[in-house]
Chain A
Amino acid sequence: MDSVFAAIVQAPEDPILGVTVAYNKDQSPVKLNLGVGAYRTEEGKPLVLNVVRKAEQFLVNDQSRVKEYLPILGLAEFNKLSAKLILGDDSPAIQENRVATAQCLSGTGSLRVGAEFLAKHYHERTIYVPQPSWGNHLKVFTMAGLSVKTYSYYDPETRGLNFQGLLEDLGAAPAGAIVLLHACAHNPTGVDPTVEQWEQIRQLIRSKGLLPFFDSAYQGFASGSLDADAQPVRMFVADGGECFIAQSYAKNMGLYGERVGALSIVCKAADVAGRVESQLKLVIRPMYSNPPIHGASIASTILKNSDMYNEWKIELKAMADRIISMRKQLFDALTAKGTPGDWSHIIKQIGMFTFTGLNSDQVAFMTKEYHIYMTSDGRISMAGLSSSTVPHLADAIHAAVTRAS
């Protein structure tokens, strides 16, 4: 019998995973993988937080725990704690029962469920995404049935924010359009608006009646402070308006493969939130029925126990501090070498990634001559650097900038 799928062609390789594939093939002892979007220690190893191990051990030892299905919307305790984490313990939106929350599969799953809900229940089908953004955003929203447009964001000249362009583009969006906002530590550029700029963005969005959809994948990971990193989201919620929030615990709790996240929809009224919640179930049930229990149980254990919560904050700050230190060290190294150009964006940008401003030729040169692996858009993962490897990277950048064109 012929296969019904005989004509299927192979899908293109994922550009980010392709970097790791090439890195793995390289035999050089000085090779460096700066493509990886996962935290690494000074020794270049993946990290499971101590508090996560503790929480997991606690769960394994609890003989009374069972593996029953979670409700469609997930672990209720986890949902409450997640909403508090992003909105603040004393958030009026929570106190007024205006927040509908669903446990979802990390950031991706939260975005997809939110987008499918919008495609079903919202009158506007267009979502505006910053240029550039995480590559998977386009796929997630398109699959969900939304059409994707972009708004200006990154300015290659300054390696910072094109604020005027952003205001113009969002100002020209049709009323009601959805706007994707990276809550902090923009991926891939590391460029975030200032607090003042966020306030202007908020006013523009509210005055035009646009619907904000926050992607919060790095809360606590960017500045080291959970509250500081949540500020943009909280500003929007404080004005009483509605918004969507996708949260991920992949990076800030190191729970990557456990797929832990939450979608929160902040509504104007409690009865609205109740109905929204019921409709979220209809989106989730035909996708995977109910979310996985393990990772959310770990997160919940940590969030509700004040000792563990404090321990987590300390370990989280240590990760953020190490990244900030790598930024400083790289900047200092390039300055010391007198590498031509302004490299201050390395310390101005925030979060896991730096958009170096290097072009694809320079990147190819660095890969070939210095065994540095990174994506061709010039993005490097600071998490892949250590004090011992910074000099090698600085050498490579210096060589690329002074020799290759």
Chain B
Amino acid sequence: MAIRRAFSGRIVDRTAVVGARYMSSWWRSVQPAPKDPILGVTEAFLADPNPDKVNVGVGAYRDDNGKPVVLECVREAERRIAGNLNMEYLPMGGSVNMVEETLKLAYGENSELIKDKRIAAVQALSGTGACRLLADFQKRFCPESQIYIPVPTWSNHHNIWRDAQVPQKTYHYYHPESKGLDFAAMIDDIKNAPNGSFFLLHACAHNPTGVDPTEEQWREISHHIKAKGHFAFFDMAYQGFASGDPERDAKSIRIFLEDGHHIGIAQSYAKNMGLYGQRVGCLSVLCEDEKQAVAVKSQLQQLARPMYSNPPVHGALIVSTILGDPDLKKLWLKEVKVMADRIIGMRTALRGNLEKLGSPLSWQHVTNQIGMFCYSGMTPEQVDRLTNEFHIYMTRNGRISMAGVTTGNVEYLANAIHQVTKSA
């Protein structure tokens, strides 16, 4: 009796004091997560004190001085909107104005599909957010389907569909020997996939390889996807940024539309308007008719609501201010071309320098590939040497962000690449 009383007395004292102090953490078994392969590169770059360091890791544009750029059209738009408007919630589907202008870019300025209101579209959190909404939508409404993802692709694509719990498969894309497109194998994979699969396509400027199908190849891809009743989902993160001409960069999408596909598109303004941190994008799904578009849009909103309720207003205002004003839009198109041209110029310079150094390898792919990235063909070990010996930062798949190359560092970069590859 005495023992029991003493025991229970101790317990009462303990809980009367605080209770929580004696418990260990709930999170003891949480493992440290691996660093993001892309974003981790910039972190490492920033931590390096070496004055010659070069960051050709993350895909954010830099001018020829290696500085980030805020477009003039963006500065002007911000001047106009600052202090003028309230900050009320946008609707769940985001800014109607911004979405309308964005659809014109992808589907065509005078698209009948837009006039017929057949496109279900919502403002999304840049390209990532658009992809994630589509993935969640696919999970909810086509739960038996799989997503086919190219090899290689932007690494986060795998994370997105995994977290949406959609089973994923891959399809052949990059041909390492030619450093080009593995077209025959890609077509085979399209044919062999179960009918009604979802195919993730990079509309232009494939990330990370920079390898795009030709127009003829796109037509064949469209034909085979149609024959199998697959759903074509375009991730278009670089419209305007690839060739300098947004209309030209949307060609793959226009081909599919002509062929009668009901496609989906993720659009991003991160690169082509330099709005990276503003998180502005759009998800659209082409439907059979207006009624279906209304239904689909309402369901997309139901997925946005438990994720973030409604999207951020500031970036959307910048976009609709620019695209809604003919002069600002013209300025934007000019500035996009400048960025694209600089990148093309750096491709030429990098290839030229490597050839001048007498590299035994072919560097044709540097100018054949398009967009922000060059898939150099270097191995992870070679990349590690570049980092450790030359303080050059890039992702270990050998992807070079051409936007990080300048007239000031291209020779240094070429020399370093030559050093690590000359005995390959």
Q: Do A and B bind each other?
A: yes
Within 8 A of A (CB), among B266-295: 270, 274-279, 285-288, 292, 294-295
B9 within 8 A of A: no
Binds B, one of A26-34, A268-276, A387-395: A268-276
List residues of chain B with CB within 8 A of the CB of A143.
303, 306-307
A67 within 8 A of B: yes
Type the 1/0 row for B289-320, where 1 means its CB is closer than 8 Å to any CB of A: 00010111011011101111111111100000
CA distance A5 to B299 in the complex (A): 11
Q: Nearest Cβ distance between residue B209 and chain A, in whole angstroms?
A: 20
A337 within 8 A of B: no
Type the 1/0 row for B25-62, where 1 means its CB is closer than 8 Å to any CB of A: 11110111100100100000000000000000010100
Q: Is the CB of A11 within 8 A of B27?
A: no
A304 within 8 A of B: no
Q: Is the CB of A295 within 8 A of B312?
A: yes
A282 within 8 A of B: yes
Q: Which of B26, B129, B231, B276 contacts A242 (CB 8 A)?
A: B26
Q: Is the CB of B36 within 8 A of A112?
A: no
Binds B, one of A181-189, A252-260, A310-318: A252-260
A336 within 8 A of B: no
Type the 1/0 row for A364-395, where 1 means its CB is closer than 8 Å to any CB of B: 00000000000000000000000000000000
With contacts A112-B306, A121-B30 taken as known, whether A4 is within 8 angstroms of B142 at the C-beta atoms is yes
Type the 1/0 row for A312-336, where 1 means its CB is closer than 8 Å to any CB of B: 0000000000000000000000000
Q: Is the CB of A67 within 8 A of B277?
A: yes
B18 within 8 A of A: yes
B347 within 8 A of A: no
List residues of chain A with CB within 8 A of the CB of B79.
60
B357 within 8 A of A: no
Q: Is the CB of A53 within 8 A of B28?
A: no
Q: Nearest Cβ distance between residue B132 and chain A, in whole angstroms?
A: 6
- Interface range, A side: 35 or more
Task: Closest A residue to B39 by CB, please name it.
Answer: A72
List residues of chain A with CB within 8 A of the CB of B88.
38, 46, 256-257
A290 within 8 A of B: yes
Task: Closest B residue to A121 by CB, please name it.
Answer: B30
Q: Is the CB of A278 within 8 A of B32?
A: yes
List residues of chain B with CB within 8 A of the CB of A70.
277
B239 within 8 A of A: no
For A11, A65, A122, the residue with the greatest tally of chain B CB atoms inside 10 Å of its CB is A11
List residues of chain B with CB within 8 A of the CB of A357.
none
Q: Is the CB of A211 within 8 A of B306?
A: no
A164 within 8 A of B: no
Within 8 A of B (CB), among A267-307: 267-269, 272, 274-276, 278-279, 281-283, 285-295
With contacts A69-B276, A239-B21, A256-B88 taken as known, whether A282 is within 8 angstroms of B33 at the C-beta atoms is yes
A57 within 8 A of B: yes
CA distance A278 to B313 in the complex (A): 28
A142 within 8 A of B: yes
Q: Which of A65, A279, A287 contacts B132 (CB 8 A)?
A: A287
* Residues of B within 8 A of A (CB-CB), count: 86
B343 within 8 A of A: no
With contacts A68-B277, A69-B276, A242-B26 taken as known, whether A9 is within 8 angstroms of B307 at the C-beta atoms is no
With contacts A136-B309, A257-B87 taken as known, whether A206 is within 8 angstroms of B25 at the C-beta atoms is no
CA distance A241 to B305 in the complex (A): 31
List residues of chain A with CB within 8 A of the CB of B288.
2-3, 6
Q: Is the CB of A276 within 8 A of B82?
A: no
A44 within 8 A of B: no
Q: Which of A1, A17, A116 contacts B260 (CB 8 A)?
A: A1
List residues of chain A with CB within 8 A of the CB of B418.
none
Q: Hey, which bits of chain A sit against chain B, CB under 8 A? A: 1-11, 14, 17, 38, 46-48, 52-53, 56-57, 60, 65-72, 105-106, 108-109, 112, 116, 121-123, 136, 139-140, 142-144, 176, 203, 206-207, 209, 211, 239-242, 250, 254-259, 265, 267-269, 272, 274-276, 278-279, 281-283, 285-295
Other A-B pairs beyond A109-B308, A256-B88, A275-B33, 6, CB < 8 Å: A60-B82, A121-B30, A143-B307, A206-B19, A256-B87, A257-B313
**7 pairs from A and B in contact (CB 8 Å cutoff):** A1-B260, A2-B262, A48-B87, A70-B277, A241-B20, A258-B87, A288-B128
